[in-house]
Chains A and B, each alone.
Chain A
């Protein structure tokens, strides 16, 4: 029986949830080790030791493959959260971790997530990159401004909100057209390309008033219902809910 992959970090992090969705789709056993940022657990020496030190002080969530690659028996995905979350420029390498998981566990779980056929795989990569380069910057800026800044008692930047909304609308227009031609972004199957969009969209739809950007577009709305209705994603969303305190 394989040792479970350890995933450190709060499931509410978009980086963590992206990786969790992937592990669930691939039936990979994992152990979620919450890191309580409010108690400064992410700054403890033991935790910091397993990090590739990215942006030590300001980093939002950093996902590190360091241990994953150095440990044969029990790969570790270490995430380093910080109170400032999530800034586009501090995006963690969750997509790299997903790619690694999909290659390593190619023969189990959902095998259609990342095709072995080179042309199909490249088409998937095309849309994963589009997510990373075009969708993520404006959507994560909106998530930060609308979902996190208020919680952290930071002042919202109305200029950034407006600009990000404009950019995201343009991207969603492209998606609306694409999703009128095919059921999912890379073709007729749910793949890493669609999965990669789940975390930010979940926040925008459930916690902000920008969900309409998705639901008012016929094809995007249909696509969102389908991908967010997957069992794996519902489990991730459940993990994000406050867990009941353990009994004494």
Chain B
């Protein structure tokens, strides 16, 4: 039985799909229609009590939170595919640090921008201009730190592509949709890093594939 990934159309789930491809792990996808409220069905809530995606099922094992899922598969399949965790405890520490930075510093800022600019109509209230301005400033500050970091090492955790870089792929893609790619492009090392990681075959496959939608 292959790994099932629920909610493949959503950005957080794409984090998982890229990881599985990098690790050469077979998977199938199960679409979840959030507009129809499938994520609030009791059956789904049994898998993911917060009612969000993604969640995976691997035989009898269920796991939610995309960053927990990618950690699990990166470890489980450490000896196959791309090594996403580094070669020592110290390298792993660096991966964890930058993955945490993505989760706690990068993600909240970019997620607010995405929701307010691209999905305001879905949240049922008008776009919050103040939140957009503040989030863009915060994101800029994080990217300044990344610029400094990436001037010293090719990827965030060191000279190897890792979970920390991978985790940035799904939401950073939205910068183009929002017309905010300049945030990357005006920073030389961030731009080089983004050009590199977004051209990985795994990301190109995930970002360009259409996962079947339920009619």
Closest to B66 in A: A129
Q: Is the CB of A177 within 8 A of B96?
A: no
Task: Give the chain B neighbours of A137 by CB distance below 8 A.
Answer: 108
Per the bound structure, the CA–CA distance linking A103 and B61 in Å amounts to 23
Q: Mark B50-67, 1 if CB is under 8 A from A, else 0.
A: 100000000001011111
Q: Is the CB of A119 within 8 A of B100?
A: no
Is the C-beta of B72 less than 8 angstroms from some C-beta in chain A? yes
Closest to B65 in A: A129
Is the C-beta of B145 less than 8 angstroms from some C-beta in chain A? yes
Q: Mark B113-145, 1 if CB is under 8 A from A, else 0.
A: 000000000000000000000000010010001
Per the bound structure, the CA–CA distance linking A84 and B105 in Å amounts to 16
Q: Mark A83-124, 1 if CB is under 8 A from B, else 0.
A: 000001111110111011001100000000000001101110
| Chain A interface, >50% SS class | helix
Is the C-beta of A161 less than 8 angstroms from some C-beta in chain B? no
Per the bound structure, the CA–CA distance linking A122 and B64 in Å amounts to 9
Is the C-beta of A55 less than 8 angstroms from some C-beta in chain B? yes
Is the C-beta of A65 less than 8 angstroms from some C-beta in chain B? yes
A/B pair count, beta carbons within 8 Å: 93
Q: Is the CB of B96 within 8 A of A122?
A: no
Is the C-beta of B195 less than 8 angstroms from some C-beta in chain A? no
Query: Which of B61, B75, B99, B141 is the one whose CB lies under 8 Å from A55?
Result: B141
Which residues of B in the span 15-65 have a Cβ within 8 Å of any Cβ on A? 49-50, 61, 63-65
Is the C-beta of B89 less than 8 angstroms from some C-beta in chain A? yes
Is the C-beta of A43 less than 8 angstroms from some C-beta in chain B? no
Closest to B94 in A: A69
Q: Is the CB of B94 within 8 A of A65?
A: yes
Per the bound structure, the CA–CA distance linking A133 and B101 in Å amounts to 12
Q: Is the CB of A123 within 8 A of B93?
A: no
Is the C-beta of A132 less than 8 angstroms from some C-beta in chain B? yes
Q: Is the CB of A118 within 8 A of B72?
A: yes
Q: Is the CB of A103 within 8 A of B75?
A: no
- The interface size of chain A toward B, counting residues with CB under 8 Å, comes to 38
Per the bound structure, the CA–CA distance linking A65 and B149 in Å amounts to 13
Is the C-beta of A74 less than 8 angstroms from some C-beta in chain B? no
- Quick one: given A118-B76, A125-B65, are A174 and B50 in contact (CB under 8 Å)? yes
Q: Is the CB of A93 within 8 A of B101?
A: yes
Task: Give the chain A neighbours of B109 by CB distance below 8 A.
Answer: 89
Closest to B61 in A: A119
Q: Is the CB of A96 within 8 A of B100?
A: yes
- Quick one: given A65-B94, A89-B108, A122-B72, are A130 and B50 in contact (CB under 8 Å)? yes
Is the C-beta of B215 less than 8 angstroms from some C-beta in chain A? no
Q: Is the CB of A123 within 8 A of B63?
A: yes
Q: Is the CB of B138 within 8 A of A89?
A: yes
- Quick one: given A89-B109, A96-B93, A96-B99, are A178 and B68 in contact (CB under 8 Å)? no
Min Cβ gap A136→B in Å is 8
Per the bound structure, the CA–CA distance linking A175 and B90 in Å amounts to 33
Per the bound structure, the CA–CA distance linking A52 and B90 in Å amounts to 16
- Quick one: given A91-B104, A130-B50, A133-B103, are A96 and B97 in contact (CB under 8 Å)? yes
Q: Is the CB of A125 within 8 A of B72?
A: yes
Task: Give the chain B neighbours of A54 by CB distance below 8 A.
Answer: 105, 145
Name B's A-contacting residues (CB within 8 A).
Answer: 49-50, 61, 63-69, 71-72, 75-76, 89-90, 92-94, 96-97, 99-101, 103-105, 108-109, 138, 141, 145, 148-149
The 3 closest A-B pairs by CB, nearest first: A129-B65, A122-B72, A125-B68
